[in-house]
Chain A
Amino acid sequence: MRIGIRTFGLSIMSVMFVLFVFQVYMLSTLQRIESMANAAAHQYLPNILQRQQFLLNIEHMRLNASQMRYAANTRQLQQASASLRMLLADAGFGNIGFKPVLDKVYPLLDELMELRLALFKLVEDVRRQEWRFLLTLGRLAEHVSWNEEQFPLLAEPLPEQPHYLSLITGSYAFMSDSVNQLFTACRKHGENDPETRTACVDLERVWKNIGDKQREIGRYQEHFDLLVKDIDQVLVGLSVEASSVEARGIYEGMEAIDDETRQIRNIFTVLGIGNALFLLLLFVALQQQIFLPLRRTTEILRDMRGGQGMARLPKTCIEEFSDIIDTLPSLNAYLNDLHQRSGQLEQERERFAGLSLTDDLTGLGNRRALDQAIQRDRQTSALAVLMVDVDNFKLYNDTLGHLAGDVALQTVARMVKQNCARASDKTFRYGGEEFVGLLIATGREGAMSVAESLRDSVEKLHIPHPGLETGVLTISVGVASREQGETTHVEELLAHADIALYAAKNSGRNRVCHYAKEQPPVEAHPA
């Protein structure tokens, strides 16, 4: 598989985008949590506070209801009722949800009020009857001169507190025995006394009346208590409901937050793993597809520069990079070709160097130049050949070193050149420490004179030569010549000059000898 570097970049970008989407999702979840926290602070908390107040007011309403039950007079009743109504209305305004329940209380309250007012009236009625009973009883007692022994009712203890149901009716049932006893006694007296009889009948009628009213009050009271209980139940129900609504809200909110937190934790985990995997993959991809191939490529390029063979090519999926790597073999081939060509060029250069006619060290003509000069000779003019050899040069070299030897050779060559100074004179290095001079149109005399001058000028240089008795560097010269008209070949002349040189060496060096056919060489210079 091969992908472009753009695709590679895009795939990295898309993975990062997916991670980014996760982050954004997480952000929105965090915002949801934040809004829940806000709701807790700005909705649940105020509501809880309000509920607290609401509960306080419900308890106050129950107190008001109880106050209505025990109100001693209409004003107390009305105040309690007004307070209850106000708080009811209040509760309804502040808690729309409870309004239907609260609205149930109003008719109960109206009924309660009505009943309570009727009850007040009844009680007043009873009280009047009681007064009548007591008055009649008092008059009767006075009339028949009863005392406490005869009629124990008068000795009954009075109730401690003035009750709205008056002095005696509170203990109506308790007293019925003594009252019946009273009536029996009364009837007995009344048999003789019509006034007493009338009073007795009146007393009995009033007592019965009181009894009826008492029972009626009892029924009213029962009804009243039921109503108060109903109201109380509604309020208690509200109280319980109110205290649980916010708790429920908070509980649900906490559960939701719990869920969200779990979700966020999961996303964090997934995101973390995703991030780690992504980085790992990225690392592996970079390592495998870019860094390793890059290093191998570098190595290959280095090898190529060193002229070594191609190693195995690295592989990569990145198209552009792969293209670069694919050019390596052709590049290598091109380099090899270049290398080959440069080798040929070197050979050429060497070949051309071989065609040179000059001796590198001394600047004189070389052996090849000598050969050419020999070939060019027409054998028509006079010609002299000087063959020069440095005396004991091997020893000089061995003692003073090759560098000094080279310098000495250069010096001698310069002397050769200076002494063979005509334009037609040619000088060559014959090899080693031997030099050859070709002097055109020069006879024996001239050649000997040049040779002698040459030998002399070298000696006069006073180049120290530790291996010789004389202590200075000297040369020996062999001379051969042909006169005008002779046809001796140059090579022959060279051989003759060599023989003459040999003679010069043999006769003690630092001298010039001319070739003689059957004679020993002539010494030009006495030893």
Chain B
Amino acid sequence: MTFCLLFLLAFFGDSVPEAHAGKDLSVAVLQNYPPFSYTDEHGNLVGFDVEFAEALCGQLHAQCRTVALPLRAIVAGLASQSLDIAVAGLGVTEERGRIMLFSNSYYRSHSFYIGRPGIRLDEEGLEGKILAAQHNSVQLIALHRIWQGKAVVVSFESHQGLLDALVRGRVDVVLIDGFPGMEFLKSPEGAGFVMLGNPILPRENPSGSCIAVSKEHPELVGRINQAILTLRVTGEYGRIMRKYFSFSIY
């Protein structure tokens, strides 16, 4: 019977938490990506990603240094391990999977097309039109996949650059992430633009937006997943979310 007890113990004796407290982490958010991260009228870095990163660091018991960077710099920083984590709504792609690790999704991701009213999203309707997405983004990969050879596809370094080009008429249609897209449609600059067709879920990113982790810290992934769940259960996630969205983004 003693043998059975030992057998049982062996099964349940493996739940020892590991300590990772008090470590400094450098955290990246996207530059000028409202409402996830942007600079408010007082010059402070705010937004859902910024506050969520803060809450996450609290859960990880880590001191965090948050920096706002363009997408390209974030990907490069994670690849070179000069950044520890990125709270930048990154979707898991094959290419990124090779150079960084990903947590579970922390908000849903889908994309939609924005353009002037009346543009039809087919080969005929897009003839002579220029489609655009942010460089390095899931949306750009999707555009290439869907419209390769049927329409002109270009990319822009930053989110803001992409939207500027749309407003100035340098491009006709953009494919962007849903939540910043809604933010744009509601903004004064977005007047005169509409959502074209229905939102899509790019097959390049079925996993939603995740927190990217440098390959230097594989142990962080599980702890971040646990922290996301904890933040959601405790309502902290909802509290932050409601500051920036009237609906749920999870």
The reply to whether the CB of B4 lies closer than 8 angstroms to some CB of chain A is yes
Q: Which residue of B lies closest to A81 (CB)?
A: B195
- Interface pair A87/B247, CB less than 8 Å apart: yes
A93 interface neighbour in B4, B108, B185, B229, Cβ under 8 Å: B108
Residues of A within 8 A of B112 (CB): 85-86, 89
Count of chain A residues near B, Cβ 8 A: 31
B201 interface neighbour in A45, A49, A93, Cβ under 8 Å: A93
Q: In residues 47-93 of chain A, which contact B (Cβ within 8 Å)?
A: 49-50, 52-54, 56-57, 60, 75, 78-79, 81-83, 85-90, 93
The reply to whether the CB of A401 lies closer than 8 angstroms to some CB of chain B is no
Q: Which of A45, A57, A82 has the most CB of B within 10 A?
A: A82
Residues of A within 8 A of B229 (CB): 45-46
CA distance in complex: A86, B185 (Å): 12
From residue B182, how far is it (CB to closest CB) to chain A in Å?
6
- Interface pair A79/B232, CB less than 8 Å apart: no
- Interface pair A56/B247, CB less than 8 Å apart: yes
Main secondary structure, interface of B, reads mixed
Q: Which residue of A lies closest to B190 (CB)?
A: A79
- Interface pair B248/A54, CB less than 8 Å apart: yes
- Interface pair B110/A27, CB less than 8 Å apart: no
- Interface pair A89/B198, CB less than 8 Å apart: yes
A82 interface neighbour in B1, B194, B200, Cβ under 8 Å: B194
Q: Which residue of A lies closest to B242 (CB)?
A: A56
From residue A121, how far is it (CB to closest CB) to chain B in Å?
15
From residue B181, how far is it (CB to closest CB) to chain A in Å?
8
- Interface pair B4/A79, CB less than 8 Å apart: no
Residue-wise interface mask of A (1-45) relative to B, using a CB-CB cutoff of 8 A (1 in contact, 0 not):
000000000000000000110010001000100000000000001
B195 interface neighbour in A53, A86, A275, Cβ under 8 Å: A86
- Interface pair B232/A90, CB less than 8 Å apart: no
Residues of B within 8 A of A90 (CB): 108, 110, 178, 199
Main secondary structure, interface of A, reads helix
A23-B4, A106-B198 known; A49-B250 Cβ under 8 A: yes
Assign chain B's interface to a size class.
20 to 34
Q: Which residue of B lies closest to A75 (CB)?
A: B191
The reply to whether the CB of A159 lies closer than 8 angstroms to some CB of chain B is no
Residues of B within 8 A of A27 (CB): 4, 7-8, 11
From residue B60, how far is it (CB to closest CB) to chain A in Å?
20
- Interface pair A20/B250, CB less than 8 Å apart: no
Q: Which of B108, B185, B200, B247 has the most CB of A within 10 A?
A: B247
A45-B233, A49-B233, A79-B185 known; A86-B250 Cβ under 8 A: no
CA distance in complex: A57, B232 (Å): 16
A60 interface neighbour in B7, B200, B247, Cβ under 8 Å: B247
The reply to whether the CB of A97 lies closer than 8 angstroms to some CB of chain B is no
CA distance in complex: A46, B105 (Å): 12
The reply to whether the CB of A94 lies closer than 8 angstroms to some CB of chain B is yes
Residues of A within 8 A of B182 (CB): 82-83, 86
Residue-wise interface mask of B (18-54) relative to A, using a CB-CB cutoff of 8 A (1 in contact, 0 not):
0000000000000000000000000000000000000
The 10 A-B pairs of least Cβ separation, nearest first, read A53-B248, A89-B199, A82-B195, A60-B247, A23-B4, A56-B248, A93-B201, A53-B250, A57-B247, A49-B232
Can you name 28 A-B pairs with beta carbons within 8 Å? A23-B1, A23-B4, A23-B7, A27-B7, A27-B8, A31-B11, A45-B229, A45-B233, A49-B233, A49-B250, A52-B248, A53-B249, A57-B248, A60-B248, A75-B191, A81-B195, A82-B195, A83-B247, A85-B195, A86-B110, A86-B112, A87-B247, A89-B178, A89-B198, A89-B200, A90-B110, A94-B108, A106-B198
Interface residues of chain B, those whose CB is within 8 Å of chain A, are: 1, 3-4, 7-8, 11, 108, 110, 112, 117, 178, 181-182, 185-186, 191, 194-195, 198-201, 229, 232-233, 246-250
